[in-house]
Structure 1
Amino acid sequence: MRVSTRFSDSVHILAFIKIYQDQRLSSESIANSVETSPVVVRRLMSILRENGLIATKKGTAEPKLAKNPQDITLLDVYLATEGERQLFTLDTNTNPDCIVGGNIQKVLGTYYEDAKMAALRKFNSVSLQDIIETILVEQKAKEHNIH
């Protein structure tokens, strides 16, 4: 099973739009940064637009954030891009006659739910502005050869 990167790619796109807001931002230039196809970028941008996170004008390379970056949380982006997907998936094909197989779903399910809620609470406390500022700090460190 392939793990989805829609969430991280969407955060990438939003940060890119803000950091490079004074430049022409075609889906090709964004795709070059994400290292994916322009079609994938356009699909993700469509989801972001439908969820009120970006504003676009048809036929132009001028996407903009629809809100201030401090008002966009990682939870907003996660729910827009991955909202219906399970964060963790249980194997439901286990042997019910085995002590482990007969109990693992209930036991792990409880821990998975706790971990999911902790992750979602963390996502809700981190803004796009936090991500952008950290990206810029990391870039400065690179420029000064600090690893």
Structure 2
Amino acid sequence: MNSEFTIAVHSLVFLAHLPDHMASSQMIADNVSTNPARIRKIMSCLRNNGFVQTKEGMGGGYILLRDPNEITLGQIYRSVSCGTIKPNWCSGDPEEECVVASKIQVVMDDVFEETDQHLTAYLDRISIASILKKIKQCQ
């Protein structure tokens, strides 16, 4: 899992919380506590995947395209973070004579792939609206 996922969820929950559901990248960045360039990169990915739309010019920004009840964390994960559970480096060497060293990468790849499938199935049960509801209950 990477920070892009958390930022994407935070940004979409923030948009769902706004009465008119519109916010600039600076406004979202201030709420997320990161810089606007990072927000624009993540929001671009969310736009390309049909979660938000952009409005250019004065008073522009990002607006939700879909009902927060219909946007799941699994959809967001698949859009911005899918496959990030697997580390960039894995131990072992396929050319090694030792059975452990030569096969550990293949077996661990399967473990990470199955973990990713279980994680996305779990995240598919959680909506942006349910996250916002939990936030409001914490007040």
Which structure 1 segments of 5+ residues have no match?
141-147
Contact 1:91 1:105 in 2 (8 A): no
**1:137 and 2:129 equivalent?**
no
Name the TM-score, length of structure 2 as normaliser: 0.83
| Higher relative contact order structure (alpha carbons within 8 Å, sequence separation ≥ 6) | 2
What is the one-letter code of the residue matched to 1:15? V
Give the aligned length: 136
Match of residue 64 from structure 2? 65
Which structure 2 segments of 5+ residues have no match?
none
Contact 2:21 2:64 in 1 (8 A): no
Q: Deviations over 1:90-126 (max 9, x none)?
A: 6455242234312212332232222111001111111
Match of residue 104 from structure 1? 104
What is the one-letter code of the residue matched to 1:68? D
> Hey, what's the Cα distance between the residues in 2 that align with 1:82 and 1:114?
15
> Hey, what's the Cα distance between the residues in 2 that align with 1:24 and 1:36?
18
User: Counterparts in 2 of 1:1-147, with a 5 A limit?
Assistant: 4-22=2-20, 25-59=23-57, 60-83=59-82, 85-89=83-87, 91-92=89-90, 94-95=92-93, 96-138=96-138, 140=139
Deviates more, 1:121-130 or 1:89-98: 89-98
> Hey, what's the Cα distance between the residues in 1 that align with 2:91 and 2:103?
12
> Hey, what's the Cα distance between the residues in 1 that align with 2:62 and 2:89?
41
- The structure in which a higher percent of residues are strand is 2
> Hey, what's the Cα distance between the residues in 2 that align with 1:58 and 1:118?
38
**Percentage identity across aligned positions?**
28
Q: Let me know the Cα RMSD of the aligned residues.
A: 2.2
